Chain A
């Protein structure tokens, strides 16, 4: 599902409410028939959130960042992270501090999490920012694979996604004063 709307319409705010970081003024967020506020840990297990701020520490290397993320999410860290990094185009850059990478490469470090999780719901805020064409195509392939496995994706983007995703639903927020 794509969340569209002009700058300032509240796309990011809505995503943050859905991910459970902010409380809504009215109403509640439901996940599988239950309010997420009631059982947040259970919901968090099914959620992968990558926001505008990606949660990548710029002092640590790509590998260290990934290992840390896997650990705090409770995943096994004994995985072949190097070949995964190579696949996403970061070969040779695994062990340098992330701050020395370009913006697009930093975004890739955060997006590798999409290959390393079993969450049902992906909430992504502008995932295509700073990525090149090949990167966007690669990411869209991953989206299709996730959808084929029965997962759901909620994202904001200004890209046109209709050509690749025929089940795409778009919700447009309007800017109100």
Chain B
């Protein structure tokens, strides 16, 4: 029984399992999108349907809604694996744990982040967002939502062993989301003034690269602490 070590096999196996589970319980995919939609429709109801005001506030609304709906799935990210013992099997595997974790975070982004990016043009209509700002919003979400998944997974890893970890996780993670929020909304604001916003996108991209490299290591350590 030879072992053929292939990092790609591990990554795709972990990713595939989470996607398979998500598609089996559709609510996991549909709920964050519905949540996002409801939050966004609440704003015109609450502040009045004035088109100018709405389109001014739209980037902020979309981004705060995206932050909150990413949080929804995070709580579940490692919970089932922790409770059924899969996490121990993953740690006791001879593969490096950060790679496993990378697979799980990518799956989380495909389940919660990617649908938001794809649905944004529809939501933009509800908020009277013009085309220029829409493109900027989609671009910032494309770079920003994976970043949210990576940062959030650190909090999820730290709190997975706690009884009521969800709220603590929000308290840990939401402040760390602030830089992402600042640069993303600043990029969208700049775009509405027809100025070049590649600088903000570059910073988001740089943050994403750092997160891809370093977050899996942090998440692995957090998980090891939670399991012990």
Report whether A51 and B3 are in contact in the complex, using a CB–CB cutoff of 8 Å: no
Instruction: Provide the residues of chain A in CB contact with B25, threshold 8 Å.
Output: 59
The reply to whether A57 and B80 form a contact with Cβ atoms under 8 Å apart is yes
Chain A residues 116-173 with CB under 8 Å of chain B are 116-118
Whether, in the assembled complex, B13 has its beta carbon less than 8 Å from a beta carbon of chain A, the answer is yes
Q: Are B93 and A73 in contact (CB under 8 A)?
A: yes
Give the chain B neighbours of A91 by CB distance below 8 A: none
Q: In the complex, which of the residues A47, A53, A54 has the most CB atoms of chain B within 10 Å of its own CB atom? A: A53
B14 at the interface (CB under 8 A from A): yes
Report whether B93 and A21 are in contact in the complex, using a CB–CB cutoff of 8 Å.
no
Q: In whole angstroms, what is the CA distance A11 to B37 when docked?
A: 51
Decide: B17 and A60 in contact? CB cutoff 8 A: yes
> Which residue of A49, A57, A76 is within 8 Å of B86 (Cβ)?
A57
Whether the Cβ atoms of B227 and A21 lie closer than 8 Å is: yes
Count of chain B residues with a beta carbon within 8 Å of a chain A beta carbon: 35
Judging by beta carbons under 8 Å apart, are B85 and A54 in contact? yes
Name the distance in Å between A103's Cβ and chain B's nearest Cβ. Answer: 14
Which of B5, B81, B88, B227 is A74 in contact with, Cβ under 8 Å?
B5
Q: Which chain B residues have a beta carbon within 8 Å of chain A's beta carbons?
A: 1-6, 9-10, 13-14, 17, 20-21, 24-25, 80-81, 83-96, 100, 224, 227-228
- Given A20-B92, A21-B91, A72-B100, 12 more A-B residue pairs with CB atoms under 8 Å apart are A49-B88, A53-B84, A55-B85, A56-B85, A57-B81, A59-B24, A67-B13, A74-B10, A74-B94, A116-B1, A117-B1, A118-B3
Indicate whether A71 reaches chain B with its CB closer than 8 angstroms.
yes
26 cross-chain CB contacts under 8 A: A19-B88, A20-B92, A41-B96, A49-B88, A49-B92, A53-B88, A54-B84, A54-B85, A56-B84, A56-B86, A57-B81, A57-B86, A58-B84, A59-B24, A59-B25, A60-B20, A71-B9, A71-B10, A72-B14, A74-B5, A74-B9, A74-B93, A74-B94, A75-B1, A116-B1, A118-B1
Residues of chain A lying within 8 A (CB to CB) of residue B6: 74
The count of chain A contact residues (Cβ–Cβ below 8 Å) is 35
Q: Which of A51, A67, A116 contacts B88 (CB 8 A)?
A: A51
Residue in chain B with minimal CB distance to A72: B93
What's the minimum C-beta distance from A134 to chain B, rounded to whole angstroms? Answer: 25
Nearest opposing residue in chain B for A79, CB measure = B1
Instruction: Give the complex CA separation of A52 and B88 in angstroms.
Output: 11
How many residue pairs between the two chains, A and B, have CB atoms under 8 Å in the bound complex? Answer: 94
What residues of chain A lie closer than 8 Å to B24, measured between beta carbons? 59
Are A73 and B21 also in contact (CB < 8 A) when A53-B88, A55-B86 are?
no
Across the two chains, which residue of chain B brings its CB closest to A68? B17
Residue pair A69, B92 in contact (C-beta under 8 Å): no
* Alpha-carbon distance A6/B84, docked complex (angstroms): 25
**Nearest residue, chain A, Cβ from B228:** A22
Is residue A64 within 8 Å, beta carbon to beta carbon, of the partner chain? yes
Docked pose: A94 CA to B4 CA in angstroms: 25
* Known A21-B227, A59-B25, A72-B10; contact A44-B1, beta-carbon cutoff 8 A: no
Q: What 4 A-B pairs come out closest when comparing CB atoms? A: A53-B85, A71-B13, A55-B85, A55-B89
